[in-house]
Each structure stands twice: as C-alpha cells, then as structure tokens.
C-alpha cells in the first residue's frame, strides 16, 4: 500500500492556507494541515472562520490542485472549555472537507477533561470531524496511556489519539503501549526526528517541538519501532519545524526535503516488514 502524506502547518508556519495547499501540491503531498487557531495568545493562526475571502481562495486552490485539507489546529481542553464556542471552527472544517482536529489536553482535572473531550467529539461529529488528542510531555495529558484513558472514558467513536514521535520519545510512553493502542483510535500520525535523549527543562522540550525538529532518519528517535506499530494505511502528517536548518531555504525546498526523508525511511520500514 502506498502511504499518504500531509504537510503539517508547523513545518511551514509562515504559509497561509492557499500557500500551504500550493506548496503541498508542488512538492508531492496529498494533503496539508491548517492552523485555524494559534497555539498560544499572539501566535500565528489563520482564522478562516473570520475571513470569507481567504476561505474562498483556499477552496479554489484545493479545486485547482486536488490537495485536500487533512487536519485543523488547535483546540485545547482547558478548565473553561465549551464545545459550543467552536461551532464556526467546525463549520469551516466541513467546508474544507477536513477530517481531523488536533486537540491539546491542558486541563489538570482528568475527569473534567474527559467530559470536555466527550462534548467536543459530540459537537464536531456532525461536521465529519474526528477529535485527536496529541499527548505532550509538558501538558497534563503527557503520554500515550493518558490520552488513551481519556478517549476510552469519553466513549465517542470519533475520538482518537495522535502519535507524534517526538512527544512519544520524550514522554513516559512505551512501544508496548503503542502496540496495544486500538487501531480505530489512530486517525492520523505525525513524523519527525530529534536528537536522542530527553531534555530536563520544559522550555527545552517546547523549543525542540516548535523550532528544532529534524527530518526523519537524521536524529535518534526509534522511528522504526514506532511506525512498525502504526497501521501503514494511516495518513502521515510531516511536522518538522527547524529554524536553523531552514535558514536560507524556501518553504518549498524545506517541505520537499522533509517529505523525501520521511518517504525514504517509511519505505525502508515497509520493505523490511514484508
């Protein structure tokens, strides 16, 4: 089976949605992600909910290229979360034909986070969207087992766990836990690499995640172990931001390099598993 790849917004964060679609098309991706809401206040986001002209241009670019929108970022489960606040987000996702929502687990109260996640799943399901918790080692939902626990307790068919190799490698997660994760929970997965070892400071963890990831095969993460345990039909989101390596490179050149290295590594894994 030929794998499918999506260009993650964070890889080329400076590109607005139409430019993301064009860049994905030119460099061989089948899809791309769009960050509708910023990761933190004042961060970069492209709120198509509030910009009808940019939404029209995005849809036209999709028609022209055949590239689809795979995932939307980011909805965070906070202590004050209300799923109804995101109806415009879901509506735009439906217009784009998007499949997945990236979800951050920011609430320290797991019972409340679980209830919020259930309400999010219920609210976005009519729009054809899944909700996928990306565990991150500096957040309350910090490992694969914590994300699975919330998804299972929420009991929603469109709930999922998003596996990011960087966060997996730097959290208290195991390959056994990944292998045991129900395949129905894996709607898509990310790929990247990073130096071996786990930073002791949260600021370092965040810096690497947002600014210093490595192309697949250029770091020390056990990508073979991870991707041997993820179904090969899973859409792969290529999320590799690196400010230093990208210096002097165009977004198109960087996106192409990240796709090439990802394909090479996963092709090798697939060949060895046959």
206 has a pLDDT exceeding 80: yes
pLDDT of residue 1: 66
The mean pLDDT of 195-222, rounded to a whole number, is 91
- pLDDT cut 90: percent of the chain above it: 92
Query: How much is the average pLDDT of 20-41?
Result: 96
pLDDT digits (tens, 9 = 90+) for 227-236: 999 999 999 9
Is residue 168 within 8 A of residue 144, CB to CB? The reply is yes
pLDDT category of residue 212 using cuts at 50, 70 and 90: very high
pTM of the model: 0.95
User: How many structural domains is the chain composed of?
Assistant: 1
Cβ within 8 Å of residue 204, ≥6 positions away:
none
For residue range 32-68, list pLDDT tens digits in order. Answer: 999 999 998 889 999 999 999 999 999 999 999 999 9
**What is the domain range of residue 180?**
5-273
Residues sharing a CB contact under 8 Å with residue 163, sequence separation 6 or more, in sequence order: 144, 178, 181, 186, 189, 190, 226, 230
227 backbone φψ class: left, alpha, beta (φ>0; ψ -120 to 50): alpha
pLDDT at 273: 78
Q: What is the CATH number of the domain that holds 205?
A: 3.20.20.150
Distance between CA atoms of residues 152 and 215, nearest Å: 32
């Amino acid at each position: 089976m030929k794998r499918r790849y999506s260009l993650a917004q964070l890889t080329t964060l400076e590109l607005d949605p139409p430019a993301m679609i064009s860049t994905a098309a030119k460099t061989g991706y089948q899809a791309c992600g769009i960050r509708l809401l910023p990761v933190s206040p004042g961060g970069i986001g492209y709120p198509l909910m509030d910009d009808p002209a940019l939404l029209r241009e995005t849809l036209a670019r999709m028609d022209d290229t055949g590239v689809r929108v795979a995932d939307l970022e980011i909805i965070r489960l906070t202590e004050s979360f209300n799923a109804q606040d995101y109806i415009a987000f879901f509506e735009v996702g439906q217009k784009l034909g998007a499949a997945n929502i990236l979800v951050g687990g920011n609430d320290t109260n797991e019972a409340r986070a679980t209830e919020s996640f259930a309400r999010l799943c219920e609210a976005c399901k009519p729009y054809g969207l899944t909700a996928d918790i990306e565990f991150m080692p500096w957040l309350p939902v910090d490992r694969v087992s914590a994300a699975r626990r919330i998804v299972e307790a929420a009991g929603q068919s469109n709930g999922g766990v998003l596996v990011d190799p960087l966060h997996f490698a730097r959290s208290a997660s195991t390959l056994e836990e990944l292998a045991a994760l129900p395949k129905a929970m894996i709607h898509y997965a990310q790929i990247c690499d990073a130096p071996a070892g786990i930073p002791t400071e949260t600021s370092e963890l965040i810096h690497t995640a947002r600014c210093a990831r490595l192309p697949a095969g250029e770091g020390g993460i056990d990508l073979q172990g991870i991707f041997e345990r993820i179904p090969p039909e899973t859409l792969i989101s290529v999320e590799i931001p690196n400010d230093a390596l990208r210096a002097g490179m165009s977004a198109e050149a960087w996106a192409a390099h990240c796709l090439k290295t990802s394909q090479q590594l996963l092709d090798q894994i697939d060949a060895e598993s046959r």
